[in-house]
Chain A
């Protein structure tokens, strides 16, 4: 059974540009959430989607957005990139929502903003 797939694995962008990251969840999983990992802030929650609806959003500026498609695949977009957006972006999928549901992570997309 394939795991969570994130593309691309590595990305270099220039300040001011925008970027779109993609996540394909484990087959049958309907919940997708996104996290940002930086050395200073650790792992921080960005947003969570279930059945194409955003259920929760973390404390990030509006430049960070996401969506989920009918096949549960998800994308996140960051506009007007800043140097501080350089991070490992992780996607996690869960079979369902509710207590006791473990999240399984992809390998992440390493974004470098120069």
Chain B
């Protein structure tokens, strides 16, 4: 039973345009959501997070939107840069646990 799903295995975006990565979850107990970026042979790098009491959080070029009723969140990257090419993981947790439940990841490729 996959509680966190990223249905797009890959996404290709032109440099300078907006990248939108999507994530769905099924467990209504989740109250904190995070996005990580991962390069091959490296550990995930924390990007941005959002609490379930908010519907938007912004940090520079990265914005995360949360729609609790739809159990859906998305990561927007504007403008997209070549260095953004990586695998992006959505993760969720609840009750303050450090047990992160990850999606399967979306490989983002930024084309020049």
> Hey, which bits of chain A sit against chain B, CB under 8 A?
4, 6, 31, 33, 35, 42-45, 48, 50, 55-56, 58, 90, 92, 94, 97-108, 110
Distance A81 CA – B59 CA, assembled complex (angstroms): 43
Distance A42 CA – B89 CA, assembled complex (angstroms): 10
Interface residue SS majority, chain A: strand
Distance A110 CA – B43 CA, assembled complex (angstroms): 11
Q: Which residues of B contact A31 (CB under 8 A)?
A: 98
> Smallest CB–CB gap between A46 and chain B, Å?
10
> Hey, which bits of chain B sit against chain A, CB under 8 A?
31-32, 34, 36, 41-46, 49, 51, 89, 91, 95-105
Interface residue SS majority, chain B: loop
- Tell me whether A48 and B98 are in contact (CB under 8 A): yes
Distance A35 CA – B102 CA, assembled complex (angstroms): 10
